[in-house]
Structures are given as structure tokens and as C-alpha cells.
Amino acid sequence: MPRFHTPEDLETFRRELLSGRDPHKPCISVCVGAGCLASGASEVLDAFRDELARQGLEAEVDVKGTGCPGFCERGPVVVVYPEEICYLQVKPEDVVDILSQTVKEKKVVDRLLYEDPASGEKAVKESEIPFYRHQERVVIGDNIRIDSRSLDDYLAVGGYAALAKALSGMTAEQVLEEVKRSNLRGRGGGGFPAGRKWEGSRNAPGDTKYVIVNADEGDPGAFMDRALLEGNPHAVLEGLILGAYAVGSREGFVYVRQEYPLAVENITRAIEQARSYGLLGKDILGSGFDFDVEVHKGAGAFVCGESTALMTALEGRVGEPRPKYIRSNVRGLWEKPSVLNNVETWANVPLIINKGADWFTKIGTEGSAGTKIFSLVGKINNTGLVEVPMGITLSDIIYKIGSGIPGDKKFKAVQTGGPSGGCIPESMLDLQVDFDALSDAGSMMGSGGMIVMDEDTCMVDVARYFIHFLTDESCGKCVPCREGLRQMDKILTRITEGKGKEGDLETLQDLAETAREAALCALGKSAPNPFLSTLRHFRDEYEAHIQEKRCPALSCKALVAYWIDPEACRGCGACLRKCPAGAVEGGKKTIHVIDQEKCTRCGTCFEVCPDRYAAVRKISGEDPPPPLPEDQRAIVKKSEKA
Amino acid sequence: MSEIRLQIDGKDVTAEEGTPLLEAARRAGIDIPALCYHEKLKPYGACRLCTVEIESRGRTRLVASCVYTVEEGLVVRTRSEKIDRIRKTLLELLLAHAPDAPTLKAWAAEYGADPDRFEKEPSFCIHCGLCVRYCAEVKGKNAIGFIDRGVRKEISFIPEIALQECENCKACFELCPTSYLQAAYVLTRSLAGKD
């Protein structure tokens, strides 16, 4: 194992490493990120290793488990180098074909390629797949190229070059200046300019300063930071070291939620490796700069993603926010100046130092430079992680990259910014996504969660879901959040149960204002957003629930009813057999009828009724028609009728 | 310590650097309602009743006056339509838990808070944390603490410490704005087999 004493040591090692690696040697990258693991990637990886061993090809073909390239919908993802052939939904039984055809005969295995659902056209390389073609993957792009357990792999793709560059030829002020000029804004929530935050810490009095990685990603449906920390931990670490150098910090922390065991493992290993290579510790690369990092596992509280709560938890106390009238970058962890940035923000730093602020500001919009990683989930064809330049339209993300809504359903809204973000309606699909445009639309960038909703989603229920989540995750310290959210949760639940009443919306607005204006921390202040943004864009749905006891999306269980259209029912008995409540009456050649008293509104009858009959109707806001009298239920064939 | 000059409700006020706005106002004879504030304890910023409006560098915003400290030239308003509306809502939320607490009732009358606006869930404790913080910060005993989180959060005595320390102290009893504490204490004693 090398130990670098100077930047030249590192570059020499990199040259030797690359000259020892044959770029033409076949290499099989199997994504072993969380999504692909869940669809069986580790069996695929094992199958490759076993098969190579069986054929005695271990020395001729490299195999590696890599980080997440984002296309989780079609995992496990396998990329074969040097041709960069991308195979999707690979199973262990495909391994033999990939080895015999692609690796040995340089032929493509057609059935494993991406096929465009509309044109039927196949895509061989990752870059030819529409999901990837419209992305700009400067941060997450290396994930599939490196084994996240290997520092050498990171060095091979240019890792730690930014650190070497900074420590050999840049002063701390120059590093800070470059980040300031890049206009890099925090990717974790508020979008505060990172350079200004760093500068505040650098200029704050005192010798002890801290830099911290916020990897307490807790938004439902979000996994950007997870993919980075699991897939490319050294990129985050390199960014952190550069930040420490710029700020004048000698000690850093990675606060990572314990629910991400692989991220904990990979960042811990990365820190140990960096230490033994001389990239962390005393006198890094002979520059005289000392810096080391410790990993702290979060104990499972959403609120600890809030900066002051995170620092309180790091100090070993209950993770509750504290008043922030003096910013944490001046007085933070143990009352010392502390720079806290999220995983993705840190991962951008090496790129900025390597390629320069001018390169960075060319990507994105004037107010929001660079790219942003979103986790695209919900009612969308291509679930996964997407990295796009700021300023891309919502419709490009949803339709060009996400390939639209499954099942010919209509798009209704997209929820951005995590639980305390907001919902953006169809009329605003042309919105150019950046920090400011999302705030103006009543939502926020947050950490980059993007949940797509279709016409079957009830917006009142969405608000209820997120407010309930936030009630559950409130730390309980201040009244507007703990008590205000508790009441909002109750009222919204009542409305979705058809028990909404006149004045509920006004009360909700009062509670929302109280939390927004008077809550202690950012979590509480932004907590009413799910309600406020859905009220702003979907007020009619609230009114339908409260005044007409109707759920326009036919989603709120208490407000829907099912009945069987006697004209359409052919008495096939599918619903009768499947109804778990025994609420369907009927028999052979008899029109079936639902007993509304017994019906639990589970919707099974609606789902099992054959498409060719489609006799089960789902309604809301009106009573189902009375059932036919029993003596009129016999089904008579048309020919017999005549 | 330097003297800071500021204006509270139109009154010129001076205070030492580091003084919370709430304290500066009280010394100038301007009362601001607060449940979790105590001059012997570190400011906590939990009840938010002490929310006031400040104007600095041309911007107006709401802050908790127990944790926001005096600044030169600051203009503070302790009452406004918005502040009163927020205090009213906060009181209504608290009254759902402690409907008979005298302090809350008195402020409710002043701010027009409807004690029946929200469904009653009498738990008496309104999580001001005075007992917990007084025991820790002034007495240094930590005989009482918070357990659980969020809407499930409660105060609880640690029986082993309470048995040793509480009999002759009980300093927290009179701090409690809703009189819940005494009941909790008695309960703990009985659970611990003392009575």
C-alpha cells in the first residue's frame, strides 16, 4: 500500500496504476447499490465470479460491484467495458451468455438491452438510453465505474487530483474563492451558498473549527445521498477535506443515519483507506495541513437532518434543534464555528476545484449553478436517480427521462423537496427547476426528492400523509410544531374520512401560519408546506371533501363506494369469489350485487372484474343506485330475450 | 459589557450586551407572556408565546424574545395583529392540554383565545421544561427528565435519584405553570414504593 508524502507521490502512483491497467481488458461492472441489491444484484455478481472461475478466466476479465448508476427501475444493471454495453434486469442465468457472447465474441446480447417502449428501438450503450441521454451526470456518473471499496478505483478516475491541486498550488483563500465564485448552493435543503457559509466560518474567531457531512437523509422516497455515500464515498471525503482546508478546520464528522448500513460501512472504510494512504491525518501530502474525520451514526430521527439538531446530537445530547439567531458556521458544534453541508454539496467540491468555477457556472441557471440529483419516484415509468442541469423543465424530467406515467394515467402533480416541500400541478410543468423557481411555486428544492402523482392520487390525502409523517418526526420541543402539527394531522385525517366541517380550512391556515412564523427550527417552519401548497393548487379538492363529502380522485376510502352496473355484469363470479368481506351477492347467470353494509371498500371487486365487462363502478359523493330486486337479477342472453 | 440601545414598543431602552429581548422589555416595564422562560435558566425557546416582531436593516421578522438578544438600534414590537393572532393560536393549542391552568386562562382572556377550539386531551404538562431544566441547571441533580419524542414526549422522574433528592427540595413544584408536576412526582414515589 502506498503512502503519499507529496502531491507528486500521488500523481506518480496514479500514473503507475493506470499504466498497469489495460484499458482494453474486459471489465464487468455490476451495480450493487441498494435498488439493484434488492432486485438480486449480489446473486448476479456471484454468478459472474463463479462462472469466470469455472472457465478459468479470472485473470482475463475483471468483475466489480459498483455504486448506483441510477436506473433502479431496470436493475440489476450491468455494464461491460471497454465497449460500455449496458444490460438491464440481468439475472444469474444471463451470466453465461454475457460472458460467452459479449466478452468472448464481442457480440451484444439483444434481449438484455434497453428497448424503447414506443419505437421498439434498442440501445446498446448507457448514453443511448433516453433515461440517461437527457441527464448530465457529473457527480454521480463515476458510480458505475468504480468499486466503492477501492481507493485505487477512485484514483483511477482522477480521484484526489483536486486535493493534490489545492494542496500543491492553492492557498486556502484561493480554494474558498473558487467555491464562492462557483456559486455552489447547498444541496440539502435551503440552498444557502456554500462559499459564503465557509467564509463565515473561516472568518469567525477561534482556532477550533469543524466541517461536517450531513448524511441524515430521511425524506421518504429520497436516496441521492445514500447512492453517493455508498457508491463513491471518496468523492464526498475529498470534498470535505478541501472544505476543511479552505475553512481552517482540523476535524470533521460524517453524520450518517444508521439505517444506511452500507453507507456507514463504505464511508468508514474510505476514511481508513485515506488515512493509510496519507490523505487524512497529519501533514497531508506534505502540506502541513492536518485533518481527520470521524463517522457518527444517527439514531433514527428525521429532525437530526436539521443543522442545529444534528450538531446537538453529535455533541451526544438529545437531537433537538436550538435557536439559530447566531448561525452555526459562527457558533455551532460545541459552540465552535461549524460548516455543515450535505453529501451532494461536498461531492461537488472536487469537481469545482479540478475544473474551475467557470466550468461549473456554465452548467445550470444564473442563480443555481451546476447539476442536481433527484430521486424520481412514485407514479413514473423510470424510477431512479437522475442528475440534471439546474434549469431543466419538470416536464423534461418526468417525460423525457422518467418516460411518463404508467398505465396511460394522467399526470396530476409532482411533490418536490421532501415531506415539507410542496406539490406542483400540471399547469406548471414548464417550470425550470432551480432553487428559486421551486420556492416561487410554493415548494422547494429540499434535498431532491421528486414524487410523481397521477390522477388517482388525492391531494388532501397527500397533505395528510406528509403532515402525519412530520407530526411523528417532530422533536416535540416547541409548541407550534408539536401541538400545531398534531391538530393539523387530526383535522386533515377527519377531512379524508368525510368528517370535514365548515371552518376547517381556516383553522388549518391559522395553524400553518403559527408554525411557519413561530416554530423554532426549519423543520417546524416548513412543516405546513404540504398543506399550504396543496391548498394553493388544489383547493377544489379540499372543498369537495368538506362540502360534498366527495373525493375527486376516488382515493379516500371512507368517501368512495362500489356498485355493480346490472347492464354490464355477466355474472362471472370473479368478484363474488374474491370479495374478502363476503359483501357480493350473486350466483350463476345472476347479476351480482354489492351489500353496501358489508362492503369494506377494499376495491378487490373493482380490480378483479374482467376488463371485457368492467361492470364494477367506483363512485364518490353520491349514493350507489339501489340494487335490482332479486326477481329481476337473472341474466338472459340477448338471443333469448328476443 | 457594553450598553446597547434599542427601542421596544416605542420606548427607548438600554440593556447590557447579551440580554434577551424579553428580559430587556420586562426591565422596562413591558410584559411579554412566556411559559418556558426563567431568569435563572438558559433560554430554551420552546413555548414561542414570547414571539415579538423586530425590525433590523429594513427587514421585519418574528423572533422568540427569550432567545434573541438585544442589538444596537433594533426596533421591537411586542404586540401586533399578527403577534396576537399567533399567541391566541398557541394558547388555544395549550389549553387543549391544560384547560384549567390559571396562567393560561388569564392570557386566554387577554388574547381572546377560545379554550374549546381544539379537542381536549388533558395531559396537564405543556412541555415548558422548567422542572427538567431547573433540576439540571440550578440544582445539578437531574432527578427529572424528558422521555420519548414529539407528540409522545413526557416528563418523568428518575426514581433512584428522586428518592434521594426530591423529598427535601421540591423546588420545581412552584415553577410548574400547569401544576402537573406534583401529580407526576407523587405517582413516581408510589411506583417506587416510597408511600
**pLDDT value at residue B194:** 61
> Model confidence at B114, in pLDDT bands (50, 70, 90)?
very high
If asked whether residues B69 and B108 sit together in one domain, one would say no
Question: CB B150 to CB A518 under 8 A?
Answer: no
Which residues of chain A does B94 touch, with a Cβ-Cβ cutoff of 8 Å? Answer: 479, 483
Give the neighbor-by-neighbor strand order of the sheet with A292-298: A292-298, A251-257, A210-215, A338-342
If asked whether residues B48 and B98 sit together in one domain, one would say no
**pLDDT value at residue B45:** 94
- Over residues A618-633, the pLDDT tens digits come to 999 999 999 889 888 8
| Grid coordinates belonging to B128 | 415548558
Say how far apart CA B129 and CA A520 lie, in whole Å. Answer: 15
Chain A residue set in contact with B, beta carbons under 8 Å: 301, 318, 322-323, 325, 471-480, 482-487, 490, 507, 510-511, 513-514, 517-520
Dihedral angle at the C-alpha atoms of A231, A393, A537, A561, nearest 10 degrees? Answer: -70
> Model confidence at B190, in pLDDT bands (50, 70, 90)?
low
Across the interface, which of B62, B67, B97 has its CB nearest the CB of A323? B67
If asked whether residues B35 and B62 sit together in one domain, one would say yes
If asked whether residues B66 and B96 sit together in one domain, one would say no
| Contact (CB, 8 A) for A229 and A267 | yes
Which residues of chain B does A507 touch, with a Cβ-Cβ cutoff of 8 Å? Answer: 117
**pLDDT value at residue A616:** 96
Q: Does B51 touch chain A (CB under 8 A)?
A: yes
Which residues of chain B does A517 touch, with a Cβ-Cβ cutoff of 8 Å? Answer: 51, 62, 82, 86
| Grid coordinates belonging to A192 | 444557502
Which residues of chain B does A478 touch, with a Cβ-Cβ cutoff of 8 Å? Answer: 45-48
Question: CB A519 to CB B118 under 8 A?
Answer: no
From B61, B78, B95, the end of a domain falls on B78
The DSSP line for B98-137 is -TT-HHHHHHHHHHT--TTSS-----------HHHHIIII
Say how far apart CA A517 and CA A544 lie, in whole Å. Answer: 29
Which residues of chain A does B97 touch, with a Cβ-Cβ cutoff of 8 Å? Answer: 483
Across the interface, which of B45, B117, B151 has its CB nearest the CB of A323? B45
Q: Does B147 touch chain A (CB under 8 A)?
A: no
If asked whether residues B113 and B158 sit together in one domain, one would say no
| Contact (CB, 8 A) for A304 and A172 | no
Which residues, 6 or more positions from B132, have their beta carbon under 8 angstroms from its beta carbon? B144, B145, B146, B155
- Top residue of A304, A330, A478, A525 to mutate, by most chain B CBs within 10 Å, is A478
Which residues of chain A does B152 touch, with a Cβ-Cβ cutoff of 8 Å? Answer: 476
**pLDDT value at residue B5:** 95
Question: CB A520 to CB B45 under 8 A?
Answer: yes
If asked whether residues B157 and B177 sit together in one domain, one would say yes
Say how far apart CA A74 and CA A365 lie, in whole Å. Answer: 31
| Grid coordinates belonging to B153 | 414526549
Element (H, E) at A386: strand A384-389
A20 burial type by CB count under 10 A (0-12 exposed, 13-18 middle, 19+ buried) = exposed
**pLDDT value at residue B165:** 87
Q: Does B47 touch chain A (CB under 8 A)?
A: yes
- Over residues A364-409, the pLDDT tens digits come to 999 999 999 999 999 999 999 999 999 999 999 999 999 999 988 9
Question: CB A482 to CB B153 under 8 A?
Answer: yes
Across the interface, which of A476, A511, A519 has its CB nearest the CB of B149? A476
Say how far apart CA A68 and CA A63 lie, in whole Å. Answer: 16
b or e along A466-487 (b: 16 or more beta carbons within 10 Å of the residue's beta carbon)? bbbbbbebbbbbbbbbbbbbbb
Question: CB B117 to CB A507 under 8 A?
Answer: yes
Upstream peptide bond of A625 is cis (omega within 30 degrees of 0): no
Nearest CA in chain A to B43: A323
Question: CB B85 to CB A472 under 8 A?
Answer: no
If asked whether residues B161 and B178 sit together in one domain, one would say yes
Say how far apart CA B85 and CA B90 lie, in whole Å. Answer: 9
Question: CB B47 to CB A318 under 8 A?
Answer: no
**pLDDT value at residue A53:** 93
Place of cell 461492472: A29
Which residues of chain B does A318 touch, with a Cβ-Cβ cutoff of 8 Å? Answer: 146
Domains and CATH numbers, chain A: 21-145 (3.40.30.10), 159-362 (3.40.50.11540), 371-457 (3.10.20.600), 460-547 (1.20.1440.230), 559-641 (3.30.70.20)
Question: CB B97 to CB A483 under 8 A?
Answer: yes
Which residues, 6 or more positions from A337, have their beta carbon under 8 angstroms from its beta carbon? A200, A201, A204, A206, A209, A210, A247, A329, A330, A331
- Top residue of A482, A523, A525 to mutate, by most chain B CBs within 10 Å, is A482
**What domain count does chain B have?**
3
| Contact (CB, 8 A) for A106 and A81 | no
Question: CB B67 to CB A471 under 8 A?
Answer: no
Q: Does B45 touch chain A (CB under 8 A)?
A: yes
Closest CA to A309 of A520, A538, A44, A71: A520
Mean pLDDT to the nearest integer, B87-114: 94
Chain B nearest-CA distance from A410, in A, is: 38
Question: CB B90 to CB A472 under 8 A?
Answer: no
Question: CB A479 to CB B90 under 8 A?
Answer: yes
In this structure, what DSSP letter does residue A45 have? H
Nearest CA in chain A to B119: A487
From B65, B94, B122, the end of a domain falls on B122
Which residues of chain B does A477 touch, with a Cβ-Cβ cutoff of 8 Å? Answer: 46, 127
Q: Report yes or no on whether pTM surpasses 0.80.
A: yes
If asked whether residues B111 and B139 sit together in one domain, one would say no
Residue A377 β-bridge partners: A451
ipTM of this predicted structure: 0.94
Which residues of chain B does A510 touch, with a Cβ-Cβ cutoff of 8 Å? Answer: 85, 89
Interface A-B, measured as beta-carbon pairs within 8 A, has a size of 92
**pLDDT value at residue B57:** 80
**pLDDT value at residue B123:** 80
Nearest CA in chain A to B70: A325
Element (H, E) at B186: helix B180-191
Across the interface, which of A472, A474, A514 has its CB nearest the CB of B90? A514
In this prediction, the residues of chain A whose per-residue pLDDT falls under 50 are 642
Closest CA to A445 of A383, A382, A529: A529
Which residues of chain A does B83 touch, with a Cβ-Cβ cutoff of 8 Å? Answer: none
Q: Does B9 touch chain A (CB under 8 A)?
A: no
End-to-end CA distance of chain B: 51
If asked whether residues B84 and B73 sit together in one domain, one would say no
Across the interface, which of B93, B149, B150 has its CB nearest the CB of A484? B93
Mean pLDDT to the nearest integer, B75-93: 97
Nearest CA in chain B to A478: B46
Which residues of chain B does A312 touch, with a Cβ-Cβ cutoff of 8 Å? Answer: none
b or e along B4-27 (b: 16 or more beta carbons within 10 Å of the residue's beta carbon)? bebebeeeebebeeebbbbbbbbe
Question: CB B126 to CB A479 under 8 A?
Answer: yes
Residue B38 has pLDDT above 60, yes or no: yes
| Grid coordinates belonging to B174 | 412552584
Place of cell 410543468: A429
Say how far apart CA B92 and CA A153 lie, in whole Å. Answer: 60
Residue A452 phi/psi, 5° resolution?
-90, 135
**pLDDT value at residue A641:** 52
If asked whether residues B42 and B11 sit together in one domain, one would say yes
Dihedral angle at the C-alpha atoms of A261, A262, A267, A272, nearest 10 degrees? Answer: 90
Say how far apart CA A93 and CA A99 lie, in whole Å. Answer: 11
- Domain residues for the domain of B53 are 3-78
If asked whether residues B14 and B59 sit together in one domain, one would say yes
Which residues of chain A does B47 touch, with a Cβ-Cβ cutoff of 8 Å? Answer: 478-479
| 3 state DSSP class of A564 | strand
If asked whether residues B48 and B37 sit together in one domain, one would say yes
Say how far apart CA A616 and CA A266 lie, in whole Å. Answer: 52
Chain B nearest-CA distance from A511, in A, is: 7
